A and B are shown apart, each in its own frame.
Chain A
Amino acid sequence: MTEAILFMLGIGGVCGILLSFASKIFYVYEDPRVSLVESNMAGANCGGCGYAGCSAAAQAVVKGEALPSVCIVSGAEGAAKVAAVMGMDPGTAESRQAYSMCDGGVRAANKYHYLGVTSCGAMALVFGGQRDCHVGCLGLGDCVKACNFGALTMGKEGFPVVDENKCVGCGACNKACPKDIIEVKSMSDKLLKFNQINDPLAPCSQTCPAEIDIPQYISHIKNGDYLAAVQTIRMRNPLLLSCGRVCPHPCENDCRRGIADEPVSINQLKRFAADYEMNSGSRVPIKCAPDTGKKVAIIGGGPAGLSCAYFLRRVGHQVTIFESMPELGGMLRYGIPEYRLPKKVLEWEIEGITKLGIETHTNVRFGTDFGLGSLVAAGYDAVFIGIGAWKDHALGIPGDDLKGCFNGIKFLSTVSALVSSGISKGDTSIREKMKLGKRAAVIGGGNTAVDCARTMLRLGLEKVYMVYRRTRKEMPANEVEIVASEHEGIEFVFLAAPSRVVGNENGEVTHLEYLRMELGEPDASGRRRPVPVKGSETLLAVDTIVTAIGQAPDASFKEETSRRISELTLTRWSTIDNNPATLQSSIPYIFTAGDAATGPALVVDAIGGGRRAARSIDLFLKGKKVEPVKDSLQKKRIPESVFKTISGVQPIKRAVMPELPVNRRLDSFVEVDLVLPEDEALKEADRCLKCCRICYNPDKKSA
């Protein structure tokens, strides 16, 4: 008997001692707040919150994924205690919310007919469900049944509707859905979400470089909720006033309505919503996630820098912009002229972004006034470079340094600076200040060239030629710009290659000599290559010549003394080399996007790039691996959503953009393109088919 008692005592003792030693040896650090938080929960392990027991819920709270009020048993009192442990108000952690990605529902076509199936899960087991669209909502409401909080209902249109006040973000619905239609995400996750190949996306949203949810904002406009439209756009693009004016809207090329009718005027509608907010006199408040305590330096305050700063700020990081010019905006301010994007509008837009708590330093140049070393020393955890492409390509023909020759970007930025400083009317004074003549030739066919030409007309020059190597069809400038410059009386000299600048004895330009060209074989880019015609030298009498034949980034900052910066590799076009999917450069904490990385492109490309870089920087700051988005779409089209023909569309004319009459344009820098009136905008919004991958709302048959 004693043996038995001793044995049991012994074995108990051994187990106890072993375990207590083990708990010392195998101790793993855990945030002490987890157990504190857990002790303030009900301890029922009921799983009602959607997490696997109280300790999982406590971990989620500490990670900032769940609100202090997750526990449904301990109520408001418990929530207050948990919040006290975490040192925050109950409710300030970034809460997650469910939202439905698919709004096809009953309008979506079916391929099978199932009998007696009562749940989405069951349906998904047999051929993946009845819908034609393989990602679409199955409509039987497994998510609705999974929700413990009654936050979901199956809407009339056959897809789940979330009641945001009831949703606690537990994620039960997402787990129940066999199709990943219901997603549960925080605002930060949504801001940094990128289009993926299996997402339910409209053709236009697939093509938009900023990946704006276009059908969603158009549908808000249609419902008269213009400010909601503004908020939808701001989830992806903080520069909506600017883009609404200058974007060449690649999205409209892929608009599904355009197959049978004219495309929806997507960008006009963006401008309408953006102008509505500005003219309403107040700003829609923009929410930012709680501070993370990480600091990022943004070099260059152009669209790429502003966009990156905006998204990083909204997900809770501290951002500082360093800009070499006196004011922010990049090419939006110093390239694109006043008559296309008024400085007042740009100012209002940029103010809205910096007001989120972004520090800005202007008149400081990277490489000259500060370097990489000083940023690292000042405690910045990551750096974004968005310095654009500001170095004009030189013409490289005899005489291109005579008096009267200018370079495109230099010319435009000088005019812009003069216009901002108040001399907006009296064109002659700017003309005299810059020593411009009376007859000018602009060389080039891109946006910069057209802007130079139209600007010169407004400065009072009598005759402006545009000299371009190829034909009108090949001009890379925005179509609307070309049309406008034709209306304004600019004369085009196509198929002409400048060969010499002729000057007089004072070194002033008198003529431009060019060779006529013929179109030959198509080159690598598919455009037919122009070849010069022998002996076709022609003289054009001009006294001012502006060269706008392309730009490259100014990489002179590389001469900075810090050894580290020399490790930053450039491409042979002197753009900054980066991983195209993550935008990380050859130095891990430096990221880059916009013209500096891609060479001259579009404002929206820079905005999309800024956001993509923000996602990578966010991963980097959180110590996670900087990985590309899985199955990222990156402007590619989803094959099943490309249609050849569509049915159910009745031709309705597209809204026409109101413009200032030509005779009132040329004596000032007043904005030329005007905003759609409200009734026109509503009519235009009504034309949108609210497309998704494959289904859409056809026009209602007029009885």
Chain B
Amino acid sequence: MGDYIVLAISCILINNILLAQFLGNCPFLGTSKKMETATGMAMAVVFVIVLAGIITWVTELYLLKPLDIEFLRTLSFILIVASLVQFVEMFLKKSIPALYTGLGIFLPLITTNCAVLGVCLINIKEEYSFLEMLVSSFSYSVGYGLALVLFAGIRERIILARVPKPLQDTSIGLVTAGMIAICFFAFKGMV
């Protein structure tokens, strides 16, 4: 049990997929202008990463490994993630329209989110067991959501500051992101 908690903490805070590994930056900057959008995106990411984690883990174990074609991992994972997102979108639209309207436009955006692929590849590289893989996928995505929501909160308030013209909007966003990353660096000492 203790191991899983350590794994969760390290995935959420220490190796935060966004702030420590710099994956999934485009949607991070794109959907963090408003808290509402940020929370929507965060939820969609958790949903998709966990699903993608499971499927890719199974693919690796039962297809790529036995056939000895691990060099196709990245390529096939991209295909799988993209189809998965499409599938989930259709499924939700039909079966859970409420969730569909909630996650709405963020689902297709995730297709191009490198954090999803990143987490899947890390799961394989670290040779996680099924349970470990579940914990890590979930925690990484929660870490992503946490960073996104924090960042959106800060960005909403940045309008209060007098930002020099050339630095406005995305530029100041990147600077802020860098500073949050440095803060997260402090978690390194935890484990």
Contact = CB atoms under 8 A, between A and B. Distances in A.
Interface in A1-16: 3-4, 7-8, 11-12, 15
Contacts of B91: 22, 26
Contacts, number: 58
B65 to A, nearest CB: 12
Interface stretch (A104-112, A116-124, A192-200, A575-583): A116-124
A126 interface: yes
A480 interface: no
Contact of A15 (B79, B157, B159): B79
A428 B94 CA distance: 78
B86 interface: yes
A42 interface: no
A121 B160 CA distance: 8
A11 B157 CA distance: 46
A28 B75 CA distance: 31
B98 interface: no
Nearest to B97: A28
Contacts of B160: 117, 122, 125-126
B173 to A, nearest CB: 16
B106 to A, nearest CB: 11
Given A4-B72, A7-B72, A27-B94, A116 B162 contact: yes
B186 interface: no
B63 interface: yes
Nearest to A52: B105
B156 interface: yes
Contacts of A28: 93-94
Interface residues of B, number: 25
Nearest to A11: B76
B80 interface: yes
B67 A3 contact: yes
Interface in B41-70: 63-64, 67-69
B95 interface: yes
B22 interface: no
B94 A26 contact: yes
A27 B94 CA distance: 7
Contacts of A15: 79-80, 83
B182 interface: no
Given A26-B91, A26-B95, A11 B69 contact: no
B90 interface: yes
B83 A18 contact: yes
Given A22-B90, A28-B94, A7 B67 contact: yes
Interface string A607-630: 000000000000000000000000
B86 A19 contact: yes
Contacts of B68: 3
Interface centre among A12, A15, A27, A126 (most CB of B within 10 A): A15
Contact of B69 (A7, A27, A126): A7
B165 to A, nearest CB: 11
Interface in B84-113: 86-87, 90-91, 93-95, 105
A26 B162 CA distance: 50
A11 B86 contact: no
A11 B87 contact: no
B159 A3 contact: no
Given A11-B79, A15-B80, A22 B156 contact: no
A207 B74 CA distance: 69
A661 B153 CA distance: 72
B159 A119 contact: yes
Interface in A392-421: none
Contacts of B75: 8
Contacts of A26: 90-91, 93-95
A7 B73 CA distance: 11
A121 B158 CA distance: 11
Interface string A466-485: 00000000000000000000
Given A15-B79, A19-B86, A4 B69 contact: yes
Nearest to B95: A26
A663 interface: no
A31 to B, nearest CB: 15
Nearest to B71: A4
B79 A12 contact: yes
A23 B94 CA distance: 10
A116 B161 CA distance: 8
A12 B90 CA distance: 19
A27 B89 CA distance: 11
A11 B80 contact: yes
Contacts of A7: 63-64, 67, 69, 72, 76
Contacts of A53: 105
A4 B64 CA distance: 9
A3 B63 CA distance: 11
A11 B60 CA distance: 12
Interface string B143-186: 00000000000001101101000000000000000000000000
A28 B68 CA distance: 41
A34 to B, nearest CB: 14
A18 B80 CA distance: 11
Interface centre among B63, B93, B159 (most CB of A within 10 A): B159
B158 to A, nearest CB: 9
Given A7-B69, A22-B86, 6 more contacts: A8-B72, A15-B79, A19-B83, A22-B91, A26-B90, A122-B160
Interface of A: 3-4, 7-8, 11-12, 15, 18-19, 22-23, 25-28, 52-53, 116-119, 121-122, 125-126
Across chains A and B, which 9 residue pairs bring their CB atoms closest together, nearest first? A26-B94, A15-B83, A26-B90, A122-B159, A122-B160, A4-B69, A22-B90, A3-B67, A28-B93
16 contacts: A3-B67, A4-B69, A4-B71, A8-B75, A11-B63, A11-B76, A12-B79, A15-B80, A19-B87, A22-B86, A26-B95, A52-B105, A116-B162, A118-B162, A122-B160, A125-B156
